């Protein structure tokens, strides 16, 4: 029987880009921290090295599904976020179906960390989204991240004490986003 996890902290990674030349320190740390840590990624876990070219994302998929709780989509590896196991981990408030406007991913992940009710959402910046090869994003679009985050807040404000954003927009954009969304308690940023 598996003991339920009591979460005390958050560990975040970003822009791993399939860098698995010496993975033992990172993966060992995440594995040992998993008992009391919520582990998240801000995007671009895939692509960038020969490990991805040779394995097609097998190593990355296994690391994400076995060690991570919540992931944000990035512009690298976009199609992988629609695979069943990874789709279940992915959150994003502003990626929608072009025709219907329906969210492509869960908009929010709710959990408890250190006795606080925590909501985790994500956004992908417009520039990052447009860096995805067009054939991989056909039928998809992004909405304004500020408006998407306000909608998440309005819908879920009563469910959480803390709102955390995983962003794949770039640091400069995230500074603007944080200024426009003072209701965000923490912004974890990734590059674009």
Q: Is residue 3 part of a domain?
A: no
Q: Is residue 1 part of a domain?
A: no
pLDDT above 90 for 19: yes
pLDDT digits (tens, 9 = 90+) for 110-154: 999 999 999 999 999 999 999 999 999 999 999 999 999 999 999
Taking a C-beta distance cutoff of 8 angstroms, is the pair 149, 123 a contact? yes
Task: Give the pLDDT of residue 104.
Answer: 98
Taking a C-beta distance cutoff of 8 angstroms, is the pair 72, 47 a contact? no
Pairing of strands 95-97, 140-142: antiparallel
Q: Is residue 163 part of a domain?
A: yes
Q: Is residue 138 part of a domain?
A: yes
Contacts of 90 (CB under 8 A, 6+ apart): 70, 71, 72, 73, 81, 105, 106, 122
CATH at residue 92: 3.60.21.10
Q: Is residue 162 part of a domain?
A: yes
Averaged pLDDT, 81-100: 98
Split into its structural domains, the chain has a count of 1
Q: Is residue 183 part of a domain?
A: yes
Taking a C-beta distance cutoff of 8 angstroms, is the pair 100, 114 a contact? no
Q: Is residue 51 part of a domain?
A: yes
pTM given for the model = 0.94
Residue numbers of the domain that contains 147? 9-190
Q: How confident is the model at residue 176 (pLDDT cuts 50, 70, 90)?
A: very high
Q: How confident is the model at residue 192 (pLDDT cuts 50, 70, 90)?
A: low
Task: Give the pLDDT of residue 1.
Answer: 57
Mean pLDDT of the chain: 94
Q: Is residue 124 part of a domain?
A: yes
Q: How confident is the model at residue 33 (pLDDT cuts 50, 70, 90)?
A: very high
pLDDT digits (tens, 9 = 90+) for 34-58: 999 999 999 999 999 999 999 999 9
């Amino acid at each position: 029987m598996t003991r339920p996890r009591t979460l005390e902290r958050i560990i975040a990674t970003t822009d791993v880009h399939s860098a698995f030349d010496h993975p033992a320190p990172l993966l060992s740390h995440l594995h040992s921290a998993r008992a009391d840590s919520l582990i998240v990624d801000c995007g671009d876990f895939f692509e960038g090295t020969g490990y991805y070219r040779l394995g097609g994302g097998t190593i990355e998929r296994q690391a994400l599904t076995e060690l991570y709780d919540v992931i944000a989509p990035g512009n690298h590896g976009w199609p992988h976020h629609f695979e069943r196991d990874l789709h279940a981990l992915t959150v994003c408030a502003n990626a929608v179906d072009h025709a219907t406007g329906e969210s492509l991913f869960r908009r929010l992940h709710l959990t408890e960390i250190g006795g606080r009710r925590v909501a985790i959402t994500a956004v992908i910046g417009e520039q990052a989204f447009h860096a995805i090869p067009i054939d991989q994003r056909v039928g998809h679009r992004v909405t304004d991240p500020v408006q998407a985050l306000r909608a998440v807040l309005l819908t879920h404000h009563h469910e959480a004490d803390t709102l955390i954003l995983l962003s794949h927009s770039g640091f400069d954009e995230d500074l603007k986003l944080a200024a426009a969304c003072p209701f965000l308690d923490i912004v974890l940023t990734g590059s674009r």
